[in-house]
Amino acid sequence: MKMSMLLSGFFWGAILILIGISIMIKTFFNIDLPVMRILFACLFIWIGIKILAGGKFPQHAAVRDEQSIIFGEGKIDVQEIKSSYSVIFGKGDIDLSRVVLDKDTTIEINTVFGSSSVKLGNFPVIISANSAFAEVKMPDSRVANFGSTEYSGKNSEGAHRLKIRASAVFGQMEFRQ
């Protein structure tokens, strides 16, 4: 089932016919068929199978901007720091290696039902990570599977630091130098 099928006349015609048949069955035989619930259940099952099978969602279903990747795969090449970055139902690389810090900065990185890899730059970094049914791997190879962990990178006198608040839920996040 392709996403473009959801926009076709055939799909909506079939839905209207099923709803009409459901109303007729309810009227004549007093049997209640929850057509909409069945359709939503089928949609969720299809999405789940697609994710488990490693299938990619069509490009037009994916949402990607300079701060987030949703239902897709991509790379966020950070030149100018934003307040947060997210990977949801997808796979993403977040490259912080080209960032120049002019002051101490705090950012938030979230991964939900996905996988993300964060490349750190040559600056002091402090990472506070929380995970729930997920894996967060720090640059020193420590791993948090459930709960929280802290990482404090190299300390350069007078250098500005990047503080990262990381959260992973049902996914995987890896920080690397």
Q: Give residue-wise pLDDT tens across range 54-101.
A: 655 555 455 567 788 887 888 888 888 888 899 988 889 999 988 888
- Separation of CA 169 from chain center: 9
Residue 1 pLDDT level (bands cut at 50, 70, 90): very low
- Rounded to the nearest integer, the mean pLDDT of the chain is 80
Element housing 51 (H / E): helix 35-52
Tell me: the pLDDT tens digits for 12-32?
677 777 778 878 888 888 887
The model's pTM is 0.64
11: left (phi over 0), alpha (psi -120 to 50) or beta: alpha
Residue 134: CB atoms within 10 A of its CB come to 22
DSSP-derived pairing of the beta strands 125-132 and 143-144: unpaired
Answer whether 173's CB lies under 8 Å from 137's CB. Answer: yes
